[in-house]
A and B are shown apart, each in its own frame.
Chain A
């Protein structure tokens, strides 16, 4: 057991981002999601793009805004027929602005990705590949590589394409993709064999077998994703678009059927007025921001170094009701640590601590170091250096002996796995105290790992005591799981430990369930079982044997350090390879959906006030009673309509930051979320336009020379 841990640790240490193990639970909840950035300068920078998007072929993709676009064209044309009418021109201008604002929202959202794409492109400079043909090397452009080609990369070379290392070990600088400067180890075989095109070999020589076609490499996909070029509408976005389109049709009908009614009443409605009414009623706010919300949601993931291969996955993340979390690295720190020294009868704790520390000085594994540290902290035993003890013979920890120790001054001290130490004691003619076994069993039952400490001296070989190695649950995980439970998400811990150990850790960490002695098939079966009950499952994985489960899961986050098979199977890749991030992914998914819902509600609730502005303006002249509906006391019919149109345009710009940052999200039950958001965006949406339109009317009526 200890061997494996050591090996894994050596391999993974270089990839650990400095912030990876930083406990996240104690940060203020609202800081976690929703810290998107918005810089007003981006608005100006994106203006040219916003105008470019006025092309009807682009506009037609957003049905609501396309209607506004047509309306703008119509009012402009009609203004030409009556060029002296300031009202027609002003309305036309504001309608065009409405469209431009909508485009601007999208352009800003896309612009943020573009900057990121540019950095990535730099990494993708045209590389020359050293392709192996038989034993010969030939130099070809990276773009000509085909799947199954073998290429050689040596220190200083940029890896020309995605592939697997088939020969050698090298340290690789992946900062171009992950932004993390610490080099990672890549070696043939096993779970660390995947390399990404555009990354740089720092040392040694590897042979890479290419696994993707040029243009479809990971870095290409990344560029497409962050630029939004590969963005396809997600299922919920499509459904929402359908609803918005149908509301648009309803209001289109309401406006189109109005002229004969108005004619009967004795007033004639001009095209400009009808279009203004229509634009105010159709859900332009959400129609304008919908696409930006989607892009920004993906972008929030990218900012956290997670790449979603499809928007569908981000939405699914919001719906997840079961999280499968690997114990090691996600719930617990990667390594076990010494927690206590338990003496057998006839020895003292201090004696055990002393022996344990001495015997662990030659053990460089994290467990070994933790024993030294515990002895120092708990028993004040100063850490001795190997050179201090004259004539000591150090026995380093090896995978074969599974023991470490020291021979000094006639004492031979050993510490290690129970089986090895017992055998050593017996070999040296000693006996193992019966209570040593009992203590070891008790520790194992509690979820820990027992290590025996033994000594051979004048009194013969004997066991002194037991070291209790324990999994250490990361800080704040309990609170995190508590939060998830309130959100209705069940957490399942996956571990290779035996059920006893697993139960103990599960209880300590506060997860809802655990899967012990898990093999990949078990994981797969668990996912299928949950899915059969209608639940959506999210998991992380990195090994090739995780690939089927990653593919089966609704949200499969592959670690960037993982194999290409795993990365292919998952629908997200975490560049930081930090499995705890799965929780954030879920929160980002939820936040995306909440933002969409909040702005839809807001947009529709806005209609009430606009009616109260426009209807009296249109008809109070023929039916004076209708002026009672002018509860905002707007100064004149023209101003009323204009103010509503201006409000309608400005609210889009006002909500751009919110749509990019996302609605503030605090984990909680559906009830609390709904109550809060309904109050803010539902009631707010009812009230805000009354105030906004009134203010605009006051300002507009101050402008001299019109009306």
Chain B
């Protein structure tokens, strides 16, 4: 079997698995976020944190909950790293430097998982499991909570929606953040991650608390190997679209991702919730077809990107590539070019950032595809929760531009898109390009930061552009090559991650609040149908043109200049 065919078959298997999981998981999540019962363990948690899960929150209260929770998360994670030297179970690692500790704390709380450290050389068991792994769960749950709040904004008040607390929602209320957060962790992420961890262990990923082993190498010399709770962290790393590897080599490390099957399984985990949540959305707004339209948009972009990536990676010319059957540099032989391409596209079109291959070693155009995937705002299918709300914002923009062409003022899912709504959506789409472009320009303009580049020319620029894009979009993957552990990058990328995560949430929740207060407009034959293929096509076009074109000059100077050379 040729490598191309293998790649295509893997893609088909992956798609089939995702399709099988779509209905049950989507439906289950819709039930989770509309159920009126609390589990016993949840009641304990509510009692422990002193929250009343049955109070309805308007958007400012919901936002305050998120911000308070995240600030505590950052402080706790920062403290944990700074105190590593005195903590037990730290494998003898010292405290992390302040700028790197800040960067890492922000990175995991914002679901980015940018790593300017090397896992096996900096973080002990305690920080990894009690700090980083915990944030892998809760930061993902926060993302889903925001998405659910926005969906409720659309759905209210015409369906008999209930908040997680079970109380009927009053006008303008978006549910209860604490209930949404806890349910996301307890009922969705933990059970799924537990099953996934077992599968990974069964396939050879490690799960222990052993120390550092000194191992002899074939060619002489020795090497240090860490143990750790790797499989469990790997599961939530992918499932929660986090991406922070236990080891520096991330998912290309055999302890994290031992076989070709686990590789495909990890891609499946990355895409599982982001795709399935479109059904949750459809059910909650009372039309699964609306969910299918969003799903179709995401799937079109994702498949298109996969096809492009496979094409650039397989078709690359040159004697070495032809001998190897594709652009093999930086890719694991046990995964192959095809699966590595699928992984790279999936990790950058979601906010995951895990890598099973070196994005820097992809062909020029292939590297550009990973960049563009993040630049689109990571919405196809995007991070858990964040992908859906990002896509819904684009849906609003598309409806606004093209919706006028049916001769009505724009409306989406029965809610009018007026000045207030478009203002919030416009602010949302402004944030990431601003962060990416401004930080990139400053990095390039200042004399020292550019010293971190490994390469010169267009490829060197791609390293910087990739880092800023990855941070601001909360992706977390690195183009490799860039030495990001400098004060400049730790600080600026830390800021980019913070602003790139929480500012959009402010606008999404404000938008949700604004929508929730609106009386729905009934659909007529004159209403723009947003559950049809035509609209899906329109949405894809809007995303590519509005978001993609913003970065065209920057892309031209990096990957395009390199890829077209």
Contacts and interface: CB of A to CB of B under 8 A. Distances in A.
Contact of A246 (B430, B442, B541): B430
Given A242-B419, A246-B429, A597-B405, A258 B461 contact: no
B525 A488 contact: yes
B522 interface: yes
B396 to A, nearest CB: 10
Contacts of A628: 564
A250 interface: yes
A264 B461 contact: yes
A421 B105 CA distance: 97
Contacts of A501: none
A26 B403 CA distance: 30
B526 interface: yes
Given A488-B526, A629-B560, A236 B441 contact: no
Contact of B529 (A259, A618, A665, A671): A671
A321 B522 contact: yes
Contacts of A604: 401, 545-546
Contacts of A669: 525-526
Contacts, number: 218
A590 interface: yes
Nearest to A489: B526
A490 to B, nearest CB: 8
What is the size category of the interface that chain A forms with chain B? 35 or more
A594 interface: yes
Contacts of A596: 404
B41 interface: no
A675 B534 contact: yes
Contacts of A607: 545, 549
B402 A260 contact: no
B546 A247 contact: yes
A589 B404 CA distance: 11
Nearest to A283: B401
A596 B404 CA distance: 7
Interface stretch (B186-194, B288-296, B431-439): B431-439
Interface in B204-243: none
Contacts of B441: 256-261
Interface in A643-681: 665, 669-671, 673-675, 677-678, 681
B438 A597 contact: no
A56 interface: no
A706 B66 CA distance: 61
Interface string A529-549: 000011100000000000000
B403 A625 contact: no
A408 interface: no
Contacts of B423: 239, 242
Contact of B541 (A281, A319, A619, A682): A682
B88 interface: no
Interface in A310-341: 315, 318-319, 321
Contacts of B4: none
A590 B408 contact: yes
Given A242-B426, A605-B545, A625-B563, A261 B557 contact: yes
B116 to A, nearest CB: 22
B550 to A, nearest CB: 5
A671 B526 contact: no
B526 A619 contact: no
B561 A261 contact: no
A51 interface: no
Interface string A79-92: 00000000000000
A488 B524 contact: yes
A593 interface: yes
Contacts of A534: 414, 519-522
Contacts of B427: 246
A419 interface: no
B220 to A, nearest CB: 42
A97 interface: no
A589 B545 CA distance: 29
A670 B406 contact: yes
Contacts of B450: 264
Interface of A is mostly: helix
Contacts of A593: 404, 407-409
Interface centre among B422, B525, B550, B560 (most CB of A within 10 A): B525
Contacts of B554: 254, 257-258, 261
Which DSSP category, helix, strand, loop or mixed, fits chain B's interface? helix
A2 interface: no
A619 B556 contact: yes
Contact of A257 (B440, B458, B534): B440
B461 A239 contact: no
Given A243-B397, A604-B545, A678-B534, A597 B444 contact: no
B526 A670 contact: yes
B287 to A, nearest CB: 16
Nearest to A533: B522
B25 interface: no
A626 B564 contact: yes
Given A315-B409, A674-B534, A601 B401 contact: yes
Contact of A615 (B397, B405, B556): B556
B527 interface: yes
B538 interface: yes
Interface in A227-275: 235-236, 238-240, 242-243, 245-247, 249-251, 253-265
A74 interface: no
A277 B522 CA distance: 43
A265 B422 CA distance: 37
A705 interface: no
Given A254-B433, A489-B526, A628-B564, A619 B405 contact: no
B317 interface: no
Contacts of B418: 235-236, 239
Contacts of B321: none
A598 interface: yes
B419 A598 contact: no
A600 interface: yes
B419 A249 contact: no
B444 A264 contact: yes
A535 B405 contact: no
Given A247-B546, A250-B433, A604-B401, A626 B556 contact: yes
Contacts of B552: 254, 611, 615
A486 interface: yes
Interface string A277-300: 100010000000000000000000
B550 A251 contact: yes
Given A257-B441, A594-B406, A594-B407, A489 B524 contact: yes
A225 to B, nearest CB: 21
Contact of A597 (B401, B521, B532): B401
Contact of A625 (B438, B551, B565): B565
A396 interface: no
A535 B550 contact: no
Contacts of A254: 433, 437, 550-554
B447 to A, nearest CB: 11
Contacts of A682: 402, 538, 541
B363 to A, nearest CB: 13
Contacts of A615: 552-553, 556
A560 interface: no
B391 interface: no
A534 B413 CA distance: 13
A437 B102 CA distance: 96
Given A239-B418, A534-B519, 12 more contacts: A246-B430, A253-B433, A262-B557, A281-B549, A318-B409, A321-B526, A593-B408, A601-B401, A604-B546, A625-B563, A674-B538, A677-B405
4 A-B pairs closest in CB distance = A597-B404, A488-B526, A590-B407, A488-B524
23 contacts: A243-B397, A250-B429, A253-B433, A256-B441, A261-B440, A264-B461, A265-B561, A315-B409, A321-B526, A486-B525, A489-B526, A490-B524, A534-B520, A591-B407, A607-B545, A607-B549, A611-B549, A622-B561, A625-B562, A629-B560, A670-B527, A673-B405, A675-B534
